[in-house]
Structure 1
Amino acid sequence: MSRRILVEPFFDPKTWTVSYVVSDKASGRAAVIDPVLDFEMKSGSTSTESADKVLAYLRDKRLKVQWILETHAHADHLSAARYIQQEAGGLVAIGEHIREVQAVFKKLYNLERNFLPDGSQFDHLFKDGEVFRIGEVEATALLVPGHTPADMAYLADGDVFVGDTLFMPDVGTARADFPGGDAHALYRSIRRILDLPPQTRMYVCHDYPPKGRGPQWETTVAEQRAKNVHVHDGVSEDEFVAMRKARDATLEVPTLILPSIQVNVRAGHLPPADDNGVAYLRIPLNALPRTK
């Protein structure tokens, strides 16, 4: 079958993140998935170099943005969703269980009283199995909790965009020790994805390549089932959960978790400015486990 969509990846080497533009050949409509807002921790400054590369591609290909899709509230980069929307339009969307994530982090950051953990910061909240369209191409939003309660995968034209749930086969799978994470749920979500047809092309949101290979982001369901180092066929749920818990206990807290999540639960908006016109990020002290 001929391909109805084009997929263009954008790799950010600072955060090891891959964003995507998914466009319908027939209509020129597009979805942007997991765009990155650059953040320099030392100076506390944001910039739009990564997102501007996405925008330049959209302009060059004369694409009209219909959706800006977040797979979850990322802990490793700030979202450029609102900047992309400001420059190119589209609806910012995420799974409806973002409300649970917002409730947890509103407490952690003690966010302003008028921040409501109801998902209203996003333009659309997907239900599990909800069908939507990118131009003339039918797409489906799949709830895949485990890494967080709100993780989504997006399926379109034989392609699936899995966020952090799965990495390349030689890297494995997402951690499950963030607030609301659950290794059992993660295993079941992974099996749901791996039950898709073997030829389904899979696009991951991050790559942390082993020594000796460069960044990659495209694989297939068949390759994951045969070669994923954490969850290939034959690995039981109990085996996976034991591995995941042992491994997660050794992992450091992500470098950008504290600045990123308080932006990402706001759908890419920065916190409201104080009366001096400056916006501030909050750093809760002694609230997270120390780095290993």
Structure 2
Amino acid sequence: MIQDRNLALAARQIERAQVNKSLRPSIAGFFDEATNTVSYVVHDPKAGEAAIIDSVLDYEPASGRTSNASADRMIDYLTSNNLKVMWHIETHAHADHISAAPYLQEKLGGKLAIGREITRVQDVFGKLFNAGTEFERNGSQFDKLFDDGETFGIGGLEGIALHVPGHTPADMAFIIGDAAFVGDTIFMPDFGTARADFPGGDAHQLFRSIRRLLSLPDKTRLFLCHDYKAPGRDRYAWESTVKQQREENVHVKDGVSEEDFVEMRTNRDKTLAMPTLIMPSVQVNIRGGRLPDPEDNGVSYIKIPVNAV
């Protein structure tokens, strides 16, 4: 029996959807190879209502130019299927791509949502980037801040948010019907798990968050935010199940202790370079995907702290 009340609520939701097909979402994944990110359109086929999860704004770091090709692919899909966007959901403040949520909101409507602990991330990175007192650190850049166990709907689909910190303090998993969108907690079983060495990250928390997710019913569909093609695999993939992860995940399958995981994760993280787009991505995403305010010449600037990280 699951003792975690909010996890038990999520499990019952998943079980209802596995019995009743009308409670299962239709899901389209959009892979951005430049950042190895998967964005999703999740919708209720009957009601025609949809959520966009972890959208990508194209950004060229050498020139500092943005473009909307990735977001426009999603718009084409949504409009061709006559879908109404209700939510723009961020699983966390991404360090590897800039969110396209403001652009998509302008075109399609809908509310922008993230986990309530985004305020902790805003505080840490607001100081790093010397954002000043004009930068609000209360999550007000978002329309909705989700708490652990909070429920929501997309048409007739049931949704519940679960707090899964470790990669960052603010990571959330969003369970919609029988599908879990787990952000940067876990990857395909042959690749393992997310890093935990960003400010506010914690390998112990990450292990517990992953094991929490892997306590969901075996057939729960897990949709991942990234894939990097593990050695020996020639294609990108981003869907697995709880059962598959428990049996096969190279970092955190059944039988791996928290102590062993933390030792592995800590040692592995020491070998990893910072993501190419971490400075622009975090700086923009803590603002809900909006660029810093233009300066007196009308141009927005991304700061790069020198010798500070």
Equivalence map 1:75-86=2 (5 Å): 75-86=95-106
Gaps of 5+ in 2: 1-18
Which residue of the partner structure matches residue 229 of structure 2?
A: 209
Name the amino acid aligned to 2:282.
I
Structure 1 residue aligned with 2:267: 246
- Contact in 1 for aligned 2:54/2:89 (Cα 8 Å): yes
Mapped pair 1:159 → 2:159: no
In structure 2, what is the Cα distance between the partners aligned to 1:213 and 1:226? 22
User: SS state of the match for residue 138, structure 1?
Assistant: strand
1:264 corresponds to: 285
Match for 1:39 among 59, 66, 69? 59
Cα distance in 2 for partners of 1:41, 1:149 equals 26
Q: Paired residue for 2:207? A: 187
User: What per-residue deviation string (whole Å, max 9, x for no partner) do you get for residues 32-84 of structure 1?
Assistant: 00000000011010000100001110100000000000000000000001111
Match of 2:4 in 1: none
Deviates more, 1:245-254 or 1:3-12: 3-12
Structure-2 separation of matches of 1:210 and 1:128: 32
Pick one of 248, 256, 277 that aligns with 1:235: 256
Q: Which runs of 4+ in 1 moved over 4 A?
A: none
Distance 1:276 1:145 in 2: 40
Deviations 1:108-133 (A, max 9, x none): 00013211110000000000010000
CA distance in 1, matches of 2:176, 2:279: 32
The one-letter code matched in structure 1 to 2:98 is L
Q: 2:296 aligns with which of 266, 272, 275?
A: 275
Matched, 1:109 2:117: no
Give the match for residue 84 of structure 2: 64
Give the equivalent residue in structure 2 for 1:13. Answer: 33
Question: 1:98 matched to which residue of 2?
Answer: 118
- In structure 2, give the amino acid aligned to 1:195: S
Sequence identity percentage:
59
Q: Measure the CA separation in 2 of the matches of 1:126 and 1:103.
A: 18
Please give the TM-score of this superposition, normalised by the length of structure 1.
0.97
CA distance in 1, matches of 2:230, 2:126: 36
Cα shift at 1:210 = 2.0
Paired amino acid for 1:231: V
Residue 3 of structure 2: aligned partner? none
Residue from 9, 13, 26 that aligns with 2:46? 26
| Structure 2 CA distance for aligned equivalents of residues 114 and 258 of structure 1 | 20
Q: Secondary structure at the match of 2:57?
A: strand
Runs of 5+ unmatched residues, structure 1: none
Residue aligned with 1:79, SS: coil
Q: Is it true that 1:226 corresponds to 2:259 in the alignment?
A: no
8 A Cα contact 2:50 2:86, kept in partner: yes
Alignment: residue pair count:
288
Q: Could you list the per-position Cα deviations for residues 176-212 of structure 1 after superposition, in whole angstroms to 9, with x for gaps in the alignment?
A: 0000000000000001100000000000000010244
SS at match of 2:103: helix
Match of residue 5 from structure 2: none
| Two-structure CA RMSD over aligned residues (Å) | 0.8
State the distance in 2 between where 1:69 and 1:61 align.
20
Q: 2:154 aligns with which of 134, 149, 154?
A: 134
Deviation at 1:25, TM superposition (A): 1.3
